[in-house]
Amino acid sequence: MRTLVLGGIRSGKSRWAEEAITTSLQPGQSVCYLAPGPPVDDDPEWSERVARHRGRRPGHWSTVETEDVAEHLTQSPQTPTLVDDLGGWLTATMDRHNAWDGGSVEASVEALLGAVGGFASTLVLVSPEVGLTVVPASKSGRRFADELGDLNQRVAALCDQVVLVVAGQPLTIKPINPTSPAST
């Protein structure tokens, strides 16, 4: 079962995703929490946000901070996994490939999509939703919005369920199909 959880900044999407994966597992079953992107140690406010997220997770979950989400998903396709979030992954990927100045992230996106499509356990992916605000004023901002919008659409096509979280409230965008092979 693959679920994409979308929402704006501070919408409650991460908390909802954590609760959703917890309720889909056996009691005490471990979860791998993938945190994409490099840690930002010189930003106290960001460090506090990360600490709040860590504090909500059960102690038996493992946390992996990695920029290579596709590799990790491919290496551990049987471990229930929560990826939070694809926006951070995309930012780090765009940095690595100089995509802000015309480089391409397509190979990395394809690798991620392949890993998501081949994942054999419960997978919950969190991503910021684009289009809930004004069009970015900068070229790099527009490029990020375009890339994230495309990524979200492609990941959603691979998922069994898509949920939009607004003000902490989930709205099912793509319901689980009870007759699909993934839901049986």
Per-residue pLDDT of the chain in tens (184 residues, 90 and over written 9): 999 999 998 899 999 999 999 998 888 788 999 999 666 678 888 778 777 777 777 788 888 888 899 999 999 889 999 999 999 999 999 999 999 999 999 999 999 999 999 999 999 999 999 877 677 888 998 999 999 999 999 999 999 999 999 999 999 999 987 665 444 3
pLDDT at site 184: 39
Task: Tell me: is residue 88 an annotated ligand-binding position.
Answer: no
Joined tokens for residue 104: 């391409």
Task: Tell me: is residue 52 an annotated ligand-binding position.
Answer: no
d(Cα 61, Cα 137) in Å, to the nearest integer? Answer: 40
Task: Tell me: is residue 35 an annotated ligand-binding position.
Answer: yes
Is residue 162 within 8 A of residue 3, CB to CB? The reply is: yes
Task: Tell me: is residue 143 an annotated ligand-binding position.
Answer: no
d(Cα 184, Cα 177) in Å, to the nearest integer? Answer: 10
pTM of the predicted structure, to 2 decimals: 0.89
Domains and CATH numbers, the chain: 2-183 (3.40.50.300)
User: Would you call 69 helix, strand, or coil by DSSP?
Assistant: helix
| Full strand arrangement of the beta sheet holding 32-36 | 62-66, 32-36, 81-84, 123-128, 2-7, 161-166, 169-174
Residue 30 C-beta-side C-alpha neighbours within 13 Å: 10
pLDDT at site 71: 95
User: Would you call 165 helix, strand, or coil by DSSP?
Assistant: strand
* 126 contacts: CB under 8 Å, gap ≥ 6: 5, 13, 14, 17, 82, 83, 84, 85, 86
Task: Tell me: is residue 114 an annotated ligand-binding position.
Answer: no
Q: Which residues are catalytic?
A: 53
Task: Tell me: is residue 13 an annotated ligand-binding position.
Answer: yes
